[in-house]
Amino acid sequence: MWPLQKFVSIRWKFLAVCLICLTLPTIILGALIYQTYYREAQENMRRDLVLIAQNWRSIADIYHEELQRILKREEVLVEKRLESVVQSVQLDIELCGQVPGEEGAARFQQLLDNLAKIRLGRSGYIFILNGQGKYVLSRDRQFDGQDALAIQPALVSSKYKELLAVYRRMAKDEVKILHYSWKDPGQTEERMKVVALVYIPDRDMVVGANMYYTDFKSYELKRILAEELRDRMADQKIGDHGYVFAIDDGGRFMVSHDRLRDGEDVTGYGVSQGGHFFRTLLAQVRRLPPEKTLISSYIWKDFDEATRHRRLVAVAYNSSWGWAIGASASEQDFLKGLAVIRRNVVQTCLWFILLGTLVALFLAAHIARPISRLEHIAAKGDLDVEMDPLLLASNDEIGSLGRALDGMMKMLREKIGELERSRLELELKNKELQTAQFNLIRTEKLAAIGQLAAGVAHEINNPLAYVMSNMETLEEYIRAYEDVLADIEQLAKRSASWVSAEEASADMSTYTVRMTGARFTQARGDIVKMISELQGGLARVKRIVMDLRTFARSEYEDMVEVAVEDVLEQAITIVRGQIRHNAELVLDYDQTPPVRCQTQRIGQVFINILVNASQAIRTGNGRILVRTYVSGDWVCVEISDNGEGIAEEHLSRVFEPFFSTKPVGRGTGLGLSISYDIVKKHGGNMQVRSELGKGTTFTVCLPKAGAGKVVS
């Protein structure tokens, strides 16, 4: 197999792998086939739903036409019956008028009583109005003699006015048939009714006989036909989960799935229940031409369903019944027929993918074997390892890669040797740089000490001069004490030779005079006071020396937790002699937590800033304010002066090495640069703001001890 490799290019191997991509078109083709069947099934369902909705709209029209035909026939019969009733009543009234006197009046009243008992259908009755619009005969005679316009609501009273206007234009024996809506006293809603009117001129009254549409026998037929139509719609099944529904203009279900929601107001449903969809659907379908059908989809869940799912719906509007008739089907129903096609497509794709995977595994193993050997060589990290001769002899891309890797390893061996030499040189340069940096810092520190030497010497000279003065006085007192002690010794020797009291008294008088002259009592009090003052002066000298010693300590110092105010006090002790001649030093310390730092290096920062502040004040009546405060996780020191200030164009360069605004010979230009590096190495930050002629403020912020890494 190895000899064949020299004639086989890795490019052909990759081309073989690309054959696997044949599976991709297969999958795409299968997806396109499935999508085509899917769209065709969906379109068939849409077409079927439209036909079903239009068919039920036509059936509803047929039911309505049949109902209207029956209602019209009964309406004619009712009108003839009412016409016959009013004509009969007219004849009876005219007969009563032919009887004179009280007997005629009594017969008329008896007639009215009999007429009041008559019911036309379930709720129809006979009424009589005179020319003034008052009831001669009302329903159950409860409003007889009352003005019809006064006892009825405004809407009904307008109907009475129409009736009065009609009958006043009627001729004798003329019968008028009217249809209108009406509401009797005590009723909650208006209903359609039909009335027959006849005018009797001799008595100036109109006789009416009326009957509500609801009393028609065929009116019950409307309910029966509507219920039959709804039952037939409910029996219609579309697939496994489809059905026909109907919603009236008020948004109520006339026909729902299995009649379980009949009467519910679907427009009152929430958005998640489909209420918004049905409100929009009703508004759109009412605007459609009669022959058009609306197609849409919505999310719905019936009572017998556990989850909500998408449904397709075709809706047609039937204006005769005022119903929106919809044919609804679940997407699951038409997707069932696609399950077999989808399963076959998926299985075919899986087989191609499996076959392609096997081929890819074989080709990958064949291609990766020499690459794995190269990887093994590279993973060892041993640049002296020998490459496989067979690999180097291969004529394909792997052989070229092996030869390139072998050449690269040789080159790396040479470069590593050069890098090692460069590393040694770099370490040497780094040590030299560290030494130079150390010397530079020491030089700056010595320069600062040189600038402060006169002030420190003055600070030390004052207490030392006081100590020397007190030492001279103390020496005088000691000599006086020595003289007194010598006199006491002489007096003790002479006391042995005293022979009389007069001799002893004379020696004691001489001793007393000398004691008085030596001011022994005064000297004793002065000595105690001078010793206390000597201790204070020497302690002051010791403190200055200790602070100076701390400032001059070695750079290699451990980090310690210390109050920033203590470091400031040490720095102020050193520079106080230089500051006091031309500025007032004001301290404003806050209660700050400790910081972790190298005290002598941070002290060097404060000394540099304080010396610069002192040198910036030329008037002799300056003011330097040292303030400490806490800002979040930072402890900040702010040193402000009212000196000359720094020009705006120089502010961005104050921390650059060797940059100085001082005259030549008064500064190295390294103080602020070194201070800035010291603060940065402590994890802090240093800022400056200044205005020419008004002064400068330096702010040094260090992280609290234990605060970890703090973001500036």
Written as six digits, the tokens of 573 are 């002790």
Token output for 77: 């019969």
In this prediction, residue 7 has a pLDDT band, given cuts at 50, 70 and 90, of very low
Q: Cα–Cα distance between 678 and 600 in angstroms, integer?
A: 11
Close Cβ partners of 673 (under 8 Å, ≥ 6 residues apart): 655, 656, 657, 658, 659
**One-letter amino acid identity for 259?**
R
Return the sign of the alpha-carbon dihedral for residues 706, 708, 711, 712: positive
Do 298 and 282 touch, CB atoms closer than 8 A? Answer: no
User: Two tokens at 127?
Assistant: 């009424």
Q: Which two tokens stand for residue 37?
A: 């069947």
> Rounded to two decimals, what is the model's pTM?
0.42
| Band of residue 155 on the pLDDT scale cut at 50, 70, 90 | very low
Per-residue pLDDT, 315 = 92
Instruction: Give the number of other Cβ atoms within 10 Å of residue 489's Cβ.
Output: 10
Contact by Cβ (8 Å): 33, 362: no
Choose the weakest-confidence range: 35-39, 369-373, 445-449.
Answer: 445-449
Cα of 381 vs its chain's centroid, Å: 51
DSSP assignment of 477-503 equals: HHHHHHHHHHHHHHHHHHHTT--SHHH
- What pLDDT does 595 receive? 94
**Residue 176 CB coordination number (10 Å):** 18
- pLDDT surpasses 50 at 712: no
> What does the H/E/C string look like for 383-437?
CCCCCCHHHHHCCCHHHHHHHHHHHHHHHHHHHHHHHHHHHHHHHHHHHHHHHHH
Question: Which of the two residues, 514 and 243, has the higher pLDDT score?
Answer: 243
The residue whose two tokens read 């009326």 is: 210
Strand 595-597 vs strand 583-588: parallel, antiparallel, or unpaired? unpaired
Q: Which two tokens stand for residue 474?
A: 């103390």
**Token pair of 449 as six digits:** 């000490």
The pLDDT score that the predictor gives to residue 482 is: 73
C-alpha 181/C-alpha 514 separation (Å) is 151
Rounded alpha-carbon distances, angstroms, from residue 206 to 45, 107, 183, 195, 406: 64, 18, 20, 12, 128
Q: Which two tokens stand for residue 117?
A: 């008992």
Question: For residue range 547-581, what is the model confidence (pLDDT) as tens digits?
Answer: 556 555 545 567 889 999 998 888 888 788 778 77
Question: Is the pLDDT higher at 253 or at 172?
Answer: 253
Q: What is the pLDDT of residues 62-118, one digit of tens each?
A: 888 888 888 888 888 888 999 999 999 989 988 888 888 888 889 888 988 999 888
Helix, strand, coil distribution of the chain in percent, nearest 5: 60, 20, 25
Amino acid at 368: A
Average confidence (pLDDT) over 342-367: 73
How does 447-456 read in b/e, with b if 16+ C-beta sit within 10 Å? ebeebbeebb
Tokens of 103: 């007997």
**Cβ neighbours for 194, distance < 8 A, ≥ 6 positions apart:** 75, 78, 79, 82, 177, 178, 179, 210, 211, 213
Q: What is the mean pLDDT of the chain?
A: 77
Q: Which residues of 415-437 are buried (b: 16+ CB within 10 A; e: fewer)?
A: eeeeeeeeeeeeeeeeeeeeeee
